[in-house]
Structure 1
């Protein structure tokens, strides 16, 4: 996942139909093999020896840019030097949306990847595409122990008990707050707010001298998380997990309660609306213009470093109503899918790389250098992680929040084939409510109606 904001653009239904057609039709191997070997004058045994002497090449498409891209390149280099059988080539393909669209275009040719990183909201689409080999196949064949991985991370990527992709970069949102501003306002900087009611009360005390108590970016991901925090499902049919979702629930009580709370703070000027970009709220927070904000756990190091010498950063769990049911957070980020239009050798090579990425030492390094969660439990035993946690104790909030999340359909996360479009529609609804164009219930009901219609159209193409 990019740090947080890689905004989702629409994935067209017609594009899905093209992908389904191509993915279900032709599956041609791309490594050197049958055609060239049968035309060769060399004996079959000699040809096999030549093939086995060459490492299998695995092309991995990813969306990690900047420092994250450098971290990806380091992982690939470490894997390639650790053995001689498989060589991975990492290729940056732009944003998650751009990479996924390129994959669709490549499915009827040999130009696509062996392995691809796809954001979490692309999960339903990837499964429906029939373009992948579920990693469960290799988990079973290798008797790979999934219990070594974080349950609440695996939970998102499992469907009907089967793991279709391997989690890679994982995050969730937390509340960041300015401890110095809390102290100046007479609030205990060691007792941050954890409920909607407490946030509203603290925000009122913190709003003075032209500074706002809070600012939350208009981001659909936050609304999804607020639902999970209340133990509420975002879609019908068990969040689209029991059977395919057919209706959006964003206009339900959990959504209205959340948006009403948010709007009341903006209306009372104890929270400021800075729009859809989380970078804008982050900058305002680091400038000391707002006392509280929401951001990804993957942003923690950058925020703490950015505030160094100016103020102390505190962290708290994602707020929820005081009367909320058992819930927690839904993991964000992305996972790795093995494409099924490649040779078995390439697919197995991709799996070997995936296994390398899950080992504790690799996960410890990835976590410390990116801020994403380790997906392997034993990574926390590595000295590298212990030292990092000592330096950034705020990350304990994120770890505890993940581990304290109650496993249910709400926290497993909603899945639908039109999630990018749905997220944008919800952001429009939030914007309409915060700017006074519509009441919270009216705005969310309109979004739910549009999302439900898009789900219906999508489901017809899948059938």
Structure 2
């Protein structure tokens, strides 16, 4: 398996630039902790930076003072490209420096764990980790964002989920139910056929090809693969040209070789944006996307492709497994999610107290305060139940999707594997057979992950 470019190309010069220590010394009887994130007031992720400085730090210091402890918390802001931030954190941790509590993209966790830069939370902070009240409020599937090889490395922050959106007006025209919930892939294809017969220009839009980038993998390939009972990486091996992958490619072929989807749209540079516009214009019947589509794309007032009557015209449904019970963990329905986590620096000189800070950051009160009045999905069920009550769609994701979701493997080679999956769907869209596309993917995968021994068939 190829190591991460950003974690391997660490030079002595770069190391000299890494942050030193965790924020300076403290007076006798006092303790200083540090937090770092790719957030900065007035810039990138400004709301997170403001919450950290203006609410979190004062409240935590006050809570510690009530316990008779003098604790100072310092915030180390960043406002850079994600890869730059990732490299900086890797440099810090490699050199034995860095903040006590660190924000990471969930997809980096496995990579950092394999490099030895982060350790399981309980290994760093002790038994108190497993006794935290918050675990009972975070669905097991959502905890997976911070889990690698069965061990908990981080606490998940906000997350999201993938669903099928559908146009109720077009469904009525096609004689389909307004409360549609497919229970198999065949149900989706049948709906597509009915929409096509009713004259809908593009019955189904399941992202495919390389122009859609990671949206092809996250909105299309991975949920479908989960619907066959497979993950892209399971049990220490990558999924190759297995039957499940061939089933996924076969489903794509039925859509794009059967006139149910628009092959050209998948190959255009702005194809995803065009799919948003076409859905909003009533030209696409069913579209697979994340909750971002609901709250930011077709949002009636400020959306990228606003739908004035969104709440009345747009339905949403769970993504079904290939057939009932065929999904991962024996599920009838599946999804994929992304998000960030917070981890502990394994070399923190105050690891137990750093865990108290981390747990406080993920308490119900702190989580709600961090939303700053916005309706967004958090990792905590109790907070979601409270803050999403006015938005049925986001509530649907929190209550129905998050408990069944899955996550991408946090390994360095994953982005390249993702591209190979995108290329496999592009082969299908361009007219190649399932066997041809699967064989080409298998060959690429072997080159990426160190040969067939690291691939499950």
Query: TM-score w.r.t. structure 2 length?
Result: 0.77
SS at match of 1:130: coil
Report how many residues are paired.
412
Assess, with a 3 A threshold, how the Cα gap between structure 1 residues 285 and 220 changes in structure 2: closer, same or farther. same
- In structure 2, the residue matched to 1:331 is 337
Measure, in 2, the Cα distance between the counterparts of 1:19 and 1:67: 25
Say whether 1:92 aligns with 2:92: no
Measure, in 1, the Cα distance between the counterparts of 2:44 and 2:169: 30
- In structure 2, the residue matched to 1:200 is 189
Within the candidate set 436, 441, 451, 2:435 is matched to 441
Assess, with a 3 A threshold, how the Cα gap between structure 1 residues 259 and 154 changes in structure 2: closer, same or farther. same
SS at match of 1:87: strand
Contact 1:68 1:370 in 2 (8 A): no
Contact 2:203 2:286 in 1 (8 A): yes
* Greater Cα offset, 63-72 or 214-223: 63-72
Contact 1:156 1:330 in 2 (8 A): no
- In structure 2, the residue matched to 1:144 is 132
- In structure 1, the residue matched to 2:417 is 422
Measure, in 2, the Cα distance between the counterparts of 1:252 and 1:289: 35
Within the candidate set 43, 47, 52, 1:70 is matched to 47
Measure, in 2, the Cα distance between the counterparts of 1:193 and 1:125: 36
What whole-Å deviation, never above 9, does each CA across 1:76-107 have from its counterpart, x for those lacking one?
Answer: 53202314332334423323x44323433555
Contact 2:381 2:398 in 1 (8 A): no
1:52-451 mapped onto 2 (5 Å cutoff): 52=30, 56-61=33-38, 69-71=46-48, 73-84=50-61, 85=71, 86-95=73-82, 97-107=83-93, 113-136=99-122, 137-138=124-125, 140-141=127-128, 143-145=131-133, 146-159=135-148, 161-207=150-196, 209=199, 211-218=201-208, 219-221=216-218, 222-235=220-233, 239-240=234-235, 244-245=236-237, 248-273=238-263, 274-275=265-266, 278-302=272-296, 303-305=298-300, 306-309=306-309, 312-322=313-323, 325=326, 326-327=330-331, 328-340=334-346, 343-345=348-350, 351-364=355-368, 372-382=376-386, 385=387, 388-389=388-389, 391-402=390-401, 405=404, 411=406, 414=409, 416-436=411-431, 438-451=432-445
Report how far residue 183 of structure 1 moved: 1.4
Measure, in 2, the Cα distance between the counterparts of 1:73 and 1:301: 23
Assess, with a 3 A threshold, how the Cα gap between structure 1 residues 119 and 83 changes in structure 2: closer, same or farther. closer
SS at match of 2:223: helix
For structure 2, which runs of at least 5 residues remain unmatched after alignment? Answer: 62-70, 209-215, 301-305
Assess, with a 3 A threshold, how the Cα gap between structure 1 residues 117 and 28 changes in structure 2: closer, same or farther. closer
What whole-Å deviation, never above 9, does each CA across 1:234-282 have from its counterpart, x for those lacking one?
Answer: 33xxx03xxx33xx32421222112212222222322124338644433
Assess, with a 3 A threshold, how the Cα gap between structure 1 residues 13 and 161 changes in structure 2: closer, same or farther. closer
Assess, with a 3 A threshold, how the Cα gap between structure 1 residues 354 and 403 changes in structure 2: closer, same or farther. same
Measure, in 1, the Cα distance between the counterparts of 2:40 and 2:448: 26
Assess, with a 3 A threshold, how the Cα gap between structure 1 residues 400 and 31 changes in structure 2: closer, same or farther. closer
SS at match of 1:452: helix
For structure 1, which runs of at least 5 residues remain unmatched after alignment? Answer: 1-9, 34-46
What whole-Å deviation, never above 9, does each CA across 1:306-354 have from its counterpart, x for those lacking one?
Answer: 323366211100133225522333432222223345x424x56653443
- The structure richer in helix per residue is 1
What whole-Å deviation, never above 9, does each CA across 1:379-412 have from its counterpart, x for those lacking one?
Answer: 2453xx2xx33x3212343234336539xxxx57
How large is the RMSD of aligned CA atoms in angstroms?
3.8
SS at match of 1:374: coil
- In structure 1, the residue matched to 2:66 is none
